Amino acid sequence: MFDITKKRAVDTAEIELVEADGSPLYDDKGNRLTVTICGPGTKTWQQADAERSRRKVVRVEKNRGKLSAAVDGAEKDEIDFLCAVTVSFNGWEYPHPEKDGKWPSQRDMFHAAYSDSTIGYIRDHVSKEANDWSAFTAGSKSA
């Protein structure tokens, strides 16, 4: 019999970032920029997903079952989800708004980056990959 557990998903994946036009995203020296995230098979991802779903249900219940309420706050929920599943930004960081300021935590930096609508294409790309099992298969680039 074939041991199906040989096909388990990996815990993390390094997602190669792309520009808004879909082309690879590089730094000024030509190095590829990436984000490492936890996959759907991890407790971290599952807890973050459960919290995202819980918040949606709470909004619908508060608004007497109106499904439009599920959409309200969805972007914030997705940002919080991405912050929870992001392990690292690789080859880049999001600048602190104060010239010599330091982020209290990496998660604060993740939140600022994913909240920046001018680079929202990064958030959207990481979100798509984070919700796709194929990024976490044995053949994918994993961290």
Render pLDDT for 103-117 as a digit per residue (tens, 0 to 9): 999 999 999 999 999
Contact 69, 62 (CB under 8 A): yes
* Whole-prediction pTM: 0.88
Within 8 A by CB and 6+ apart from 50, the residues are none
Cα separation, 29 vs 26, in Å, equals 8
93: number of Cβ within 10 Å: 13
Low-confidence ranges of the chain (pLDDT < 70): 65-71, 138-143
Q: What is the pLDDT of residue 57?
A: 83
The pLDDT, as a whole number, for residue 142 is 43
